[in-house]
Chains A and B, each alone.
Chain A
Amino acid sequence: DGGITQSPKYLFRKEGQNVTLSCEQNLNHDAMYWYRQDPGQGLRLIYYSQIVNDFQKGDIAEGYSVSREKKESFPLTVTSAQKNPTAFYLCASWDRGMVEGYTFGSGTRLTVV
Chain B
Amino acid sequence: QKEVEQNSGPLSVPEGAIASLNCTYSDRGSQSFFWYRQYSGKSPELIMFIYSNGDKEDGRFTAQLNKASQYVSLLIRDSQPSDSATYLCAVLDSGGYQKVTFGTGTKLQVIP
Contact = CB atoms under 8 A, between A and B. Distances in A.
A74 interface: no
B20 to A, nearest CB: 19
Contact of B102 (A42, A48, A94, A109): A42
A81 interface: no
B43 interface: yes
Interface string B1-19: 1001010100000000000
A31 interface: yes
Contacts of A50: 97-98
B56 to A, nearest CB: 12
Contacts of A90: 43-44
Interface in A93-113: 94, 96, 99-102, 104-107, 109
A43 B49 contact: no
Contact of A102 (B1, B100, B101): B100
B8 A100 contact: no
Question: Size range of the interface on B?
Answer: 20 to 34
A40 interface: yes
A19 interface: no
Most chain B CB neighbours (cut-off 10 Å) among A42, A45, A48, A100: A42
A59 interface: yes
B32 interface: yes
A41 interface: yes
B43 A104 contact: yes
A56 interface: yes
B50 to A, nearest CB: 10
B34 A101 contact: yes
A96 B43 CA distance: 21
A31 B98 CA distance: 8
A48 B93 CA distance: 13
Interface of A: 31, 33, 35, 40-45, 48, 50, 56, 58-59, 88, 90, 94, 96, 99-102, 104-107, 109
Given A100-B49, A105-B43, 4 more contacts: A40-B104, A42-B104, A56-B97, A99-B49
